[in-house]
């Protein structure tokens, strides 16, 4: 048994705690500042932002009858995502009685800020309080993390909801988690939202759970319950109600577009060609997101691939070395999540942009940097 602390030790611990949380809130204040200074003046406004603003403006002027049942089109297809992104924007417009670009981008800003304490909680599943704070600073002050908080675009909030999905899944698996049904609800909420924000995430996250269950079947079956699954599916079905209504009215047109999108996307005919294409792009964009450098791609493709490879290797090494089962879940989940996005990109990604990679790497980069 540990001996009780004397008053001097208690005061020292109290001061350390106050100092730590002081640093944390200074970091959080700084993150708010860099995301909001000259907020509307420096905002990116392109054709997509104008299209989305018109949806909210119609609701603001004509009422809820103008709410759409589908969201934006997935890039390069006729498939439409769910309408949750439009609903977020419209809620902000109704709350502030305005459809200005700054008002419509507020949900994106909010989710960007909420991802910071959520990431800290995720890091604490593995690391000490001080190291978790350092990783959270790395996560919070990346160039693209700041840029994607400053304008409205449906993929920009995928980081928060992907992180909530991963954290909820790991809390369900953890031995020390009470009231797991609440985390099933959070898992359904996060997937029901993020799957309406980006097409790749829609398919990749179910694959992540399937792959994880293959490698850790006992851990998954141990916590599986019919009540939890019912809650998980019920929350998703509730969030997809507008989509189901539209499918009934259109005779399943959008569902058929989903299968067509999977069949048509992709630019290489061979497996080796796809692996080379995706690997080069993953390396390049991992380096960009990690260091904020947008110079010539070829050297940074190799550097990014090396960083990714070493991070994956170390994660798997720590997974084998770790004795605590809950920590082993985290060490394995991060590379599986990245590998899932990698494999799903073979057919689902034709054109590559920073936003396509931001949600995938922003979660993994700080952990790999350890």
pLDDT tens by residue, 265-300: 554 556 666 667 667 777 766 766 666 666 666 666
Position 13 in a domain: no
Domains contained in the chain, number:
1
What parts of the chain have a pLDDT lower than 70? Answer: 1-9, 74-78, 252-275, 277-278, 284-285, 287-301, 345-370
Name the packing angle between helices 354-369 and 129-140 (round to 10°). 160
Burial (CB < 10 A; 0-12, 13-18, 19+), residue 354, is: middle
pLDDT computed for residue 186 by the predictor? 97
- Show Cβ contacts of residue 127 under 8 Å, excluding neighbours closer than 6 positions: 135, 370
pLDDT computed for residue 1 by the predictor? 46
Q: What residue numbers bound the domain in which 274 lies?
A: 47-369
Position 19 in a domain: no
Position 129 in a domain: yes
DSSP letter for 73, please. Answer: B
Position 39 in a domain: no
Number of H helices, E strands in the chain: 18, 0
Position 278 in a domain: yes
- Show Cβ contacts of residue 294 under 8 Å, excluding neighbours closer than 6 positions: 288
pLDDT computed for residue 370 by the predictor? 45
Position 139 in a domain: yes
Position 2 in a domain: no
Distance CA 206, CA 211 (A): 9
pLDDT computed for residue 306 by the predictor? 74
pLDDT computed for residue 358 by the predictor? 55
pLDDT computed for residue 61 by the predictor? 85
């Amino acid at each position: 048994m540990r001996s009780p602390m004397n008053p001097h030790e208690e005061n020292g611990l109290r001061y350390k705690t106050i100092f730590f949380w002081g640093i944390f809130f200074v970091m959080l204040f700084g993150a708010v500042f860099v995301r909001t200074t000259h907020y509307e003046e420096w905002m990116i406004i392109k054709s997509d932002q104008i299209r989305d603003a018109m949806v909210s403006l119609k609701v603001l002027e004509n009422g809820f009858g103008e709410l759409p049942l589908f969201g934006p089109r997935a890039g390069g297809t006729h498939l439409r995502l769910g309408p949750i992104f439009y609903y977020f924007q419209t809620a902000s417009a109704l709350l502030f009685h305005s459809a200005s670009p700054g008002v419509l981008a507020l949900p994106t800003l909010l989710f960007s800020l909420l991802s910071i304490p959520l990431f800290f909680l995720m890091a604490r599943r593995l690391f000490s309080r001080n190291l978790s704070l350092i990783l959270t600073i790395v996560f919070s002050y990346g160039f693209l993390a700041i840029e994607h908080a400053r304008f409205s675009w449906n993929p920009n909030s995928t980081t928060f909801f992907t992180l909530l999905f991963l954290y909820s899944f790991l809390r369900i698996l953890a031995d020390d988690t009470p009231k797991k049904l609440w985390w099933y609800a959070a898992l359904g909420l996060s997937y029901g939202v993020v799957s309406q924000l980006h097409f790749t995430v829609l398919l990749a996250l179910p694959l992540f759970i399937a792959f994880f269950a293959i490698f850790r079947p006992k851990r998954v079956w141990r916590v599986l319950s019919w009540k939890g699954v019912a809650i998980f599916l019920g929350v998703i079905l509730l969030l997809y109600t507008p989509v189901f209504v539209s499918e009934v009215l259109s005779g399943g047109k959008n569902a058929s577009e989903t299968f067509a999108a999977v069949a048509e996307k992709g630019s290489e005919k061979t497996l080796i060609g796809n692996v080379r294409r995706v690997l080069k792009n993953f390396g390049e964009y991992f380096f960009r997101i990690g260091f904020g450098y947008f110079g010539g791609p070829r050297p940074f493709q190799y550097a990014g691939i090396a960083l990714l490879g070493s991070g994956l290797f170390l994660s798997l090494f720590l997974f084998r070395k770790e004795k605590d089962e809950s920590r082993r879940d985290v060490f394995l989940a991060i590379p599986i999540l990245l590998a899932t996005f990698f494999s799903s990109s073979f057919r689902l990604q034709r054109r590559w942009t920073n936003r396509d990679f931001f949600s995938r790497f922003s979660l993994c980069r700080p952990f790999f940097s350890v």
